[in-house]
Amino acid sequence: MRIGSVEFEKKGRIAYITLDEPSKLNALSADIRHGVRESLAMIEADDDIRVGVITGRGDKAFCAGADISGFPVTPDEVRAFIGTILPFLESPERCRKPLVAAVNGMAFGGGFELAIACDFIIASDRAKFGVPEIHLGLLPGFAVVRLHDIVGRAKAKEMSMLGEPIDAAEACRLGIALRTVPHDKLLEEASAFAEKLASKPHLAVEMAKSFYNRGLGGDEMRYAVDAFPFLFLTEDVKEGVEAFRAKRKPQFK
């Protein structure tokens, strides 16, 4: 079943959500965001589904992050964009059923954030992870309130301030990914892990997710929604976005 730019498939107790715009590196277009939201709602509503697996179409990218071509311009557009994108990125956390991100390639920016909002990441040995927003004069909106709890403050600051990607092995060492597997075995391994989860008492599994995720959101997320629109209005962001589109090095002031 196709929903927006997402392929949704149910196989027994497992539901598969595939981001399906490989020509755009599965960037978070409005159609992909719509498809993910609707797919998660279907997982929630179907009592036969115990676990969801999210992956990307193609060998290059799980999700390359925000769709730069759709970036907002006016203050009102910026505010609306931030108010929409951050709740979207935390939606895997709010899903009561466990979600596994099968990261098949680059997971950058919003794609990285979508992955860490899932309960588990199984990474291809070709996967790359990063928050490169600093190159646009921005910071990661969702990761800035989550990443330090996973990798520690110093590493989170380094990743956010330098914007340099890490490979799958480093992501596993830092606790971002649960395990790394050969690229051609990714879906097989992610499915096997999902089946193990699905075989456990589902109420206990859902309660474990709820307990471990307690306290997420709240004031930190509200602050991000309120504060981040101001970054979009700086001259550095305008220069960063223009440079990205022109494929040149930005000259930040």
Q: How many domains does the chain have?
A: 1
113 is known as an active-site residue? yes
Query: Any idea how long the chain is?
Result: 253
Regarding predicted confidence, which is higher, 48 or 69?
48
Lowest mean pLDDT among 129-133, 150-154, 206-210, 241-245: 241-245
**Domain coverage including residue 43:** 2-184
Amino acid present at 180: T
Let me know: does 109 contact 71? Beta carbons within 8 Å: no
44 is known as an active-site residue? no
Q: Tell me the pTM.
A: 0.91
Domain membership flag for residue 37 = yes
Average pLDDT over residues 101-117: 97
Task: Report pLDDT for 66.
Answer: 84
Task: Report pLDDT for 50.
Answer: 98
Q: How far apart are CA 80 and CA 84, in angstroms?
A: 6
Domain membership flag for residue 68 = yes
Domain membership flag for residue 205 = no
Q: What is the pLDDT of residues 175-219, one digit of tens each?
A: 999 999 999 999 999 999 999 999 999 999 999 999 998 867 656
Domain membership flag for residue 171 = yes
Domain membership flag for residue 253 = no
- Which is the catalytic residue, given 21, 90, 133, 189? 133
Report the CATH number at residue 159: 3.90.226.10
Domain membership flag for residue 137 = yes
Domain membership flag for residue 248 = no
Lowest mean pLDDT among 46-50, 135-139, 149-153: 135-139
- Which is the catalytic residue, given 21, 44, 90, 113? 113
Q: How far apart are CA 117 and CA 71, in angstroms?
A: 22
Domain membership flag for residue 6 = yes
